[in-house]
Amino acid sequence: MIVYGLTGSIGMGKSTAAAMLKRMRVPVHDSDAEVRFQLSSHGQAFEEVAVTFPECWDKKHHIIHRNILADIVFNDERQREVLESILHPYVRMAQQEFIRKTRSFGQDTAVLDIPLLYETGAQSRVDAVIVVTAPYFIQRQRVLSRPNIDEELFEKILRTQVPDATKRVMADYIVHTGLGHAHTYNGLKKIIEGV
């Protein structure tokens, strides 16, 4: 089974690419979704995160306010490292279980959608890396159209990520997402079909 890592900086079209791969019937594991689960009251990481970051823990409603947590970790690199040291082992375990199940179902291809693939060294755990990219002006437009993200937060997030140019140099495959959905879909299809 070939395991692809799918990555790209914020606003580069990774979620759209993952949805397209699913439409091609390629199993995709979403690391962001796993993080959201881990931060929910059902997640294994919930209690440790709540105790470590009490300012974002709403004890009355038994939830972690992710916007408060994001504000903490994007303003303090040490705090971000602490949070990642809690969450990343659970995400890796979920990825391994996903690969095991996918292989047991006889699939010949799987994708791990990992936003921080290079930042966490996950490229060593996949067979090939697909990087999605788009021009900066498109990336900026996409990100700033999201709720609760302003220019300052966008720049802070970018500073925590390996630059797009570096990701493209390190990639096995590059898919340009700024040229429309059909172009993105065809680029992904060629990779999956080995064309």
Cα–Cα distance, 174 to 133 (Å, whole number): 7
Contact 86, 69 (CB under 8 A): no
CB atoms within 10 A of CB 184: 20
Tell me the pLDDT tens digit for each residue of 68-124. 999 999 889 999 999 999 999 999 999 999 999 999 999 999 999 999 999 999 999
pLDDT value, residue 148: 84
Instruction: Classify each residue of 158-173 as buried b or exposed e, where b means 16 or more C-beta atoms within 10 Å of its C-beta.
Output: beebeebeebeeebeb
Which CATH architecture is the domain 2-193 placed in?
3-Layer(aba) Sandwich (3.40)
Mean pLDDT within 32-46: 95
pLDDT value, residue 125: 94
Model-wide pTM > 0.75: yes
pLDDT value, residue 155: 92
User: Helical H runs in 24-65?
Assistant: 31-39, 46-52
List the one residue out of 118, 93, 123, 80 whose CA is nearest residue 29.
93
